[in-house]
Amino acid sequence: MTDVLANVSNDLAAIVAAASPGVVRVEARRRLPASGIVWSADGLIVTAHHVVEQEEEVKVGLADGRTVPASLVGRDPTTDIALLRAQASGLTPLPWAEPDTAKVGHLVLALGRPGPSVLATLGVVSALGEGWRTSLGGRIDRLLQTDAAMYPGFSGGPLMDASGHALGPNTTALLRGLSLTVPAPTVRRVVETLLAHGRVRRGYLGVGAQPVRLPSALEAQLGQPTGLLLVSVEPSSPGGQAGLLMGDTIVAFDGQPTRRLEDLLGQLTAERIGRTVSVRIIRGGQVQERSVTIGARDE
């Protein structure tokens, strides 16, 4: 038994040592630095959007002890991903794992470099799920939750599997109270978009909304218990130009029921920009239809 534990310990230490060159320190906020992952040898660094509080004078701490300047290539708040370009070359990218290789109960290591040395915590994959939308409408290809402790400064660092591959960057900002990992397919998609355009385009209506319970008669008529009450409408926005008013309740968008804010945000994808769609609303207790042309917002 002692030999088994010693072998496991040695294997985990070897994973940390091998991954260490691909884990960097990200200095982009006044308080404790965060962590990042080397994406490419020519200096591309993936980190968490929420730790990049300043876009000027960003620095990246490398495994060899150097601290180099970095610039922001782009960011996507909806998936909590930011892409930096460090003024360095010859870096060591981490190997990436596909999310379907992870199983609930698998051992994983969360790595971070908030200081000069790489740090590690051990845990297991505690939950896996289907693709989902964040509260801001970003599409995450798979839910990946771990119980590995995320110490201050670990955000943006990688979650490593037992084969020494990165499952994705860790974040505590997408769902309150949960340690999640943004899976490799999501990271790859966002990075490619940021490299091509410097931003992620999202559909835009120009309205503020909150869930509201529908009266029982309308609930029975529409077959849904809630809708989205409009608490603000920008006059010159796509929603304002379509005649939407504060106090309207959206119950369907482009033929899909709208019960929660995530339902609406999930419909405002880049592919829909410029399309005219039908919006079903409740106004004065009556169900009405409006047409709105989806605008664009650059994140």
Q: What is the pLDDT of residues 93-145, one digit of tens each?
A: 999 997 688 999 999 999 999 999 999 999 999 999 998 888 777 889 999 99
7 vs 1, 218, 276, CA distance in Å?
10, 63, 61
Annotation marks residue 155 as catalytic: yes
Residue 201 confidence (pLDDT)? 80
- Taking the alpha carbons of 122, 127, 130, 135 in that order, is the dihedral positive or negative? negative
Domain boundaries along the sequence of the chain: 1-199, 202-298
What is d(CA 110, CA 154) in angstroms, rounded to the nearest whole number? 8
What is d(CA 133, CA 84) in angstroms, rounded to the nearest whole number? 24
Compute the half-sphere exposure of residue 230: CA atoms within 13 Å on the CB side of its CA: 24
What is d(CA 170, CA 231) in angstroms, rounded to the nearest whole number? 34
Residue with the two structure tokens 């974040």: 171
Range of lowest pLDDT (143-147, 174-178, 208-212): 174-178
299 has a pLDDT exceeding 60: no
Residue 177 confidence (pLDDT)? 81
Compute the half-sphere exposure of residue 60: CA atoms within 13 Å on the CB side of its CA: 31
Annotation marks residue 161 as catalytic: no
80 has a pLDDT exceeding 90: yes
Residue 298 confidence (pLDDT)? 58
What is d(CA 263, CA 227) in angstroms, rounded to the nearest whole number? 10
Q: What is the pTM of this model?
A: 0.81
What values do phi and psi take at 125, rounded to 5? Answer: -70, 115
The 3-state DSSP class for residue 33 equals: coil
Q: Which of 49, 76, 141, 155 is catalytic?
A: 155
Q: Which of 49, 50, 141, 161 is catalytic?
A: 50
Out of 3.40.50.2300, 3.40.50.720, 1.20.1740.10, 2.30.42.10, the CATH code matching 202-298 is 2.30.42.10
Q: Which of 76, 80, 248, 263 is catalytic?
A: 80
Task: Provide the 8-state DSSP code for 86.
Answer: E
Annotation marks residue 80 as catalytic: yes
Residue 1 confidence (pLDDT)? 64
pLDDT range class, residue 147, cuts 50, 70, 90: very high
Task: Tell me the per-residue pLDDT of 6-17, one tens digit each, with 9 for 90 and over.
Answer: 888 999 999 999
CATH 2.40.10.120 fits 1-199, yes or no: yes
